[in-house]
Structure 1
Amino acid sequence: MIDQNIRILRKKNKLSQEKLAELVKVSRQTLAKWENGETVPDINQCKIIADLFCISLEEISSDMSEAEMIHLGPKGKQFFGVVTVGKDGHLIIPHQAQELYHLKPGDRLVVLGEDETQGIAMLKAERFLEFAELIKNAKLEEELHDE
């Protein structure tokens, strides 16, 4: 598990054993032993490796296939697949995303866009409104302090 995951992540990120060992502050031989399954890194070393590759401790120790490890995104970032825009503009949000973010029928989503990349993002309306309220209150406090 961990041995294969370290090897795949290292290769995916085009790092030599020498370079990864340097970043984790161990010898290249120690790293080679981890990748060969002869020994395993301690929890602190796993944390360093997870942070380097922007994944969780759970992910680095999980029994995932090579394909799953290669497509692993940064911690806190999700890839749910591709959706198709219907004739009437409807989107079907993947089930996994609905479960993870507790989306249910009737929830309102804010749709944001960026011109340069033509990127689109969606977030729950209440979260966006809470954030907007925080900004508004911070601005009011700043104006009061400036007077």
Structure 2
Amino acid sequence: MMLSSKLRDLRKKHGLSQKELAEKLMTTQAKVASWENGDSVPDISYIAKLTVLYDVSADYLLKDGKQEGQTIEPG
């Protein structure tokens, strides 16, 4: 799963609108929409805030295809 999809899914799972999330992160709704559309990526300070807000790891957000709590077996 791509970062943009994870961000959208987590926001919806937590019952937040883009505007509400933007307010929590002290940013704009347009920026949140841009992340969720895959037009841009959040900088590291927003990644840190998102991990706390959603109680997920940065690895989960940033690694494509990995589910939270899932381990990837070596080769």
Size of the aligned set, in residue pairs, is 70
Name the structure 2 match of 1:17. 18
1:26 maps to 27
Q: Gaps spanning 5+ residues in structure 2: where?
A: none
Shift of 1:64: 3.0
Sequence identity (%) = 35
- Paired position in structure 2 for 1:62: 63
Q: Could you say what secondary structure the match of 2:56 adopts?
A: coil
CA RMSD, Structure 1 to Structure 2 (Å): 2.0
Structure 1: unaligned runs, 5 residues or longer: 73-77, 79-95, 97-147
Aligned to 1:125: none
What's 2:9 paired with? 8
- 1:53 alignment counterpart: 54
**Higher normalized helix content (fraction of residues):** 2
What's the counterpart of residue 39 of structure 2?
A: 38
Please report the TM-score for the alignment, with normalisation by the length of structure 2. Answer: 0.82
SS at match of 1:38: coil
Separation (CA, whole Å) in 2 of partners of 1:62 and 1:4:
12
Higher relative contact order, structure no. (Cα contacts within 8 Å, ≥ 6 residues apart): 2
- Cα offsets for 1:83-142 (capped at 9, x unmatched): xxxxxxxxxxxxx8xxxxxxxxxxxxxxxxxxxxxxxxxxxxxxxxxxxxxxxxxxxxxx
